[in-house]
Chain A
Amino acid sequence: MEGKNSFYNDNKLNIKKLMKSGVLSSFLSALVAVLLGLIFGFVIMLIALPANALIGFKHIILGGLKRIGDVFYYATPILMTGLSVGFANKMGLFNIGASGQYTMGMYFALYVGFMWDLPDGIHWVVACLAGFVGGMLWGAIPGIFKAFLNVNEVITSIMFNYIGMYLVDMFIQGNSAMYVSDKTRTQYLPAEVQMPSLGIPNSNVHLGIILAILIGILLYIVLQKTTFGYELKATGFNRFASEYAGMKGKRNIILTMAIAGGLSGLGGAFGILAPSGIAGSSMTYEPINIIAPAGFNGIAVALLGNSHPIGIIFSAIFISYIQRGGTLASLAGYKPEIIDIVIAVIIYFSAFTSLILEFISKLFGKGRKNKKTLVDNEIKEAE
């Protein structure tokens, strides 16, 4: 009898502990969002082309497995922009300017790649660092506006997406060492500026993904373990309390936006410095006045990952995975846009995190209540 009671209690405590830690619950809610999104996607596929729905859906679910190298390759830039958006979000800032920072980082990396003459081993490293600096600059400016003039960072960073993109396009088109005007693209980068490939066949996956994951873990440590992370989160939760406690709010806003920008910029560097499978060529940039989509994908990645650096690592890989599957679904006659719809739905549902969380805790709550009355009854019987 007594043994039974303690069993229930232990059980209760464990679930509670996990729920309290928040990790399990955010993971579960992301999972529910993913499942709902997939179901919804399947329904759309059924409507669009009923005969091939099953085979197409199988491509979406399992297709990524066949191209695992590409999954990680395409995950690299959106992981970086996701970390960027998520990191700023921890401080209560919405960095919608990841695209501009990404483009700036890419340009800085390209500039170092073409214009600087550096030894082979370190050329790509310096180019990456330059990308980080370029993104930082583009993130810090909205941060400065926010800190000193209280201009909403959403507005400035949207504007900086355009300013950054047009500036970069202008600079590139005006630089004959970088630009091939009849092909409307940049020159091929020399091989020593390209990131070291991981050597997975049929894929351009490179060292960037490993660096990106390491950076994600590093951010997690910064947020959880350091005084800077403590200040940053406190400011995000309650700006007034952080001011009351004497934290340097303005410095922290600028620093956070600069780091967030740097992360996106590094993403841009990783994107453009990726190695090419064909010898003598490289990734190129086309200055055709289009905002880099990687920035907006980063918002989706950060949302699905609940702004948690480790969550973002998984959500970036997942989104890349399902995108690879989506391109394969075209083999079954589906437009690749269908996968964009599925991803949109997943993000849509993950925005309902709180609702889903409530739903989950209700499920658990009921279970707990039943157990409690059970225990109570037993106690009553014993009496």
Chain B
Amino acid sequence: MSLLEVQDLTTAFMTGRGEVNAVEDVSFSLNEGEILGIVGESGSGKSVTALSIMGLLPSPPARIAAGQVRFAGQTLTGLSERQMQPIRGPGIGMIFQEPMTSLNPVFSIGDQIMETIRAHERLPQAQLRARAVAMLDKVGIPAAARRLDDYPHQMSGGQRQRVMIAMALACRPRLLIADEPTTALDVTIQAQILDLLMDLRDEFGMAIIIITHNMGVIAETADRVLVMYAGRVIEEAPAARIFDHPRHPYTRGLLECVPSLTEDRARLVAIPGTLPEPARRPAGCRFAPRCAHAEPSCTQAVPALESLEPSHTAACFRARELSR
């Protein structure tokens, strides 16, 4: 049985123009120890998907309009805030893009880590402290025992992200959701943090969902990839397959429009047009207006995810004929 199962998840937001689905019909599952990459651009719904799993969206304006999230056999959708709390932490941990605003500036990082542990376990102070030091050490903060009493502002961006990871790991979660964990970081620090996440997965065997807009981050970490566009999953496959045989025109575009670090290209293959805003999504296939292969019929209905190979699905009416 898989650790996490998301089924037909639809999350809607109340806006000035009525209710808008930020995420629609999202389904996927995740096994213990697996790293799933969710890739998409702004408005793709990748972050909303993560927050829906965690039950962290403010309601109103957000609401889970349909679908189910099951974690370790337990249905999370419909749980109250109180019932959700013991699951966050020991069950699912989360780290965010902006490590500065995710930490409370008025408490030392040691206090914040210990507070997280204390919320789920009763331990004597000395043990709490030892556990916090061990966690900081694990995430690669040098001289961890001395840094325990430092405040967030005394640390660099990369170190703060390490602290965030330490906090998330303090309760030994079975699943870690990392929402754009390296977007705010410099490239040398990004490489360190990605290495760290992989090391931790190998050591603790936890499952990880990495949410990113960067195909490189996916290539570095993910076992399996979910590509999202305008609120829907449009392709899912093992990572190597996504890179070798992308079947959805959008996935293909996403891979082609990024310049290479090793080979010269005269011109980038850009995807024309603009990402649709959630309230103004086109009818039918959401990608059709920007798609080079779109046909009139593409705007008639929303294509469903279809299995093209074992463990490779894509939501494109023309996926089969195009990849010939």
The answer to whether A and B belong to the same complex is: no
